[in-house]
């Protein structure tokens, strides 16, 4: 017996959640029901699709092969649904975006609020994670990253460049010796990422500056900046974040100026979805405009 679409939905949920309970939450089914359906599917194809262990359900070699076909079927079903419902002036349903927390905190709230206001039947979810969002597990429909992925069946589009500078709070500058040259940075307390939790080399700002010790660290950009606002030390900050942290001032702008970029990453098959294409276009345009607007204020 060949797998039907209902079987495939359950298979994809277990593959992505790596557990019956997680798949059950996604599907709104009892875990025991999910387990029976997986057992029935494995029996129908006469091969185990998962390797079960106390840690959860991992794909077997056969399951890994089926995953590719399952995702293609999922994308085809989405495209078919959109074709049947026809085009609409407004977007609806749910769309989830994964993003690094700097973007998620300082750009996406404004941009998504505008998109949501124009599309009242659309539910937008923002997943702010201190790591790369796993699109293969459908943690999100699309992701914003700070470097383009080099593997996988993915659509990658550069959104915009953004700038970063060294900053300190007014109270820090008032209570400490002046910073006029790069030599004046020696011995200063630095605020930045926890070194072993930097998930993308593009985020190693202090490494680019030759800083060896991070005295105050967090994997969260807003936490770093709030420590800087308290006068605790020096920090590299996104220019677009500075309007939200008025006490911070840029330093040594002629000597220290970093440029990074945001990229939109999507499943390759999703390019057949007019709904996701329209949302991605609106999101990219909104981010470009918001970066330009906020950087002009600094």
10-19, 67-76, 163-172, 179-188, range with the lowest pLDDT: 67-76
Nearest to 186 by CA among 210, 218, 217: 210
Residue with tokens 């599907």: 27
Strands 190-192 and 50-53: unpaired
Asked if residue 170 lies in contact with residue 179, where contact means CB atoms within 8 angstroms, the answer is no
Residue 234 to residue 168: CA distance in whole angstroms: 5
**Rounded CA separation 38/15 (Å):** 11
Residue 116 has a pLDDT of 95
Distance CA 239, CA 162 (A): 8
Which run of H or of E encompasses 143?
strand 142-145
pLDDT tens-digit readout, 73-114 = 776 776 666 565 555 556 788 899 999 999 999 999 999 999
Pairing of strands 154-169, 248-251: antiparallel
Q: Which H or E run includes 254?
A: none
What are the structure tokens assigned to 258, written together? 């970093």
CB count in 10 Å sphere of residue 85: 11
pLDDT digit string, tens, across residues 149-165: 876 678 899 999 999 99
Euclidean distance between CA atoms 108 and 113, whole angstroms: 8
| CA 249 – CA 173 distance, rounded (Å) | 9
Per-residue pLDDT, 2: 60
Backbone angles phi, psi at 179, to 5 degrees: -115, 105
| Mean pLDDT to the nearest integer, 129-145 | 73
CA distance 171 to 177: 12
Write phi, then psi, for 199 (nearest 5 degrees): -90, -5
Helices 5-17 and 20-27 meet at what angle, rounded to 10? Answer: 130
Structural domains of the chain ordered from first start: 5-85 (1.10.10.10), 92-160+261-295 (3.40.190.10), 162-259 (3.40.190.10)
Question: 261: which 2 tokens?
Answer: 């970029």
- The tens digit of pLDDT for each residue in 229-250 reads 999 999 999 999 999 999 999 9
At 14, list the tokens.
């277990």
What pTM did the predictor assign? 0.73
């Amino acid at each position: 017996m060949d797998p039907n679409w209902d079987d495939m939905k359950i298979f994809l949920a277990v593959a992505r959640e790596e557990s019956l309970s997680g798949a059950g939450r996604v599907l709104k089914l009892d875990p025991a029901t999910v387990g029976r359906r997986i057992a029935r599917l494995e029996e129908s194809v006469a091969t185990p699709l998962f390797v079960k262990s106390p840690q959860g359900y991992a794909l077997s070699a056969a399951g890994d092969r089926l995953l590719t076909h399952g995702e293609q079927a999922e994308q085809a079903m989405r495209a078919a649904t959109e074709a049947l419902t026809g085009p609409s002036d407004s977007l609806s349903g749910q769309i989830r975006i994964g993003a690094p927390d700097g973007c998620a905190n300082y750009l996406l709230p404004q941009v998504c609020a505008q998109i949501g206001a124009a599309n009242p039947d659309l539910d937008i979810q923002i997943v702010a994670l201190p790591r790369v969002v796993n699109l293969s597990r459908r943690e999100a429909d699309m992701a914003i990253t700070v470097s383009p992925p080099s593997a996988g069946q993915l659509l990658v589009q550069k959104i915009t460049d953004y700038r970063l500078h060294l900053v300190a709070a007014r109270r820090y500058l008032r209570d400490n010796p002046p910073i006029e040259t790069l030599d004046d940075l020696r011995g200063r307390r630095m605020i930045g990422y926890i070194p072993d939790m930097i998930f993308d080399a593009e985020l190693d700002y202090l490494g680019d500056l030759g800083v060896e010790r991070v005295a105050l660290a967090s994997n969260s950009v807003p936490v770093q900046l709030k420590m800087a606002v308290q006068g605790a030390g020096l920090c590299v900050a996104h220019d677009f974040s500075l309007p939200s942290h008025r006490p911070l001032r840029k330093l040594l702008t002629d000597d220290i100026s970093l440029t990074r970029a945001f990229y939109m990453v999507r499943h390759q098959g999703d390019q057949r979805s007019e709904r996701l294409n329209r949302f991605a276009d609106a999101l990219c345009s909104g981010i470009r405009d918001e970066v330009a607007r906020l950087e002009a204020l600094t």
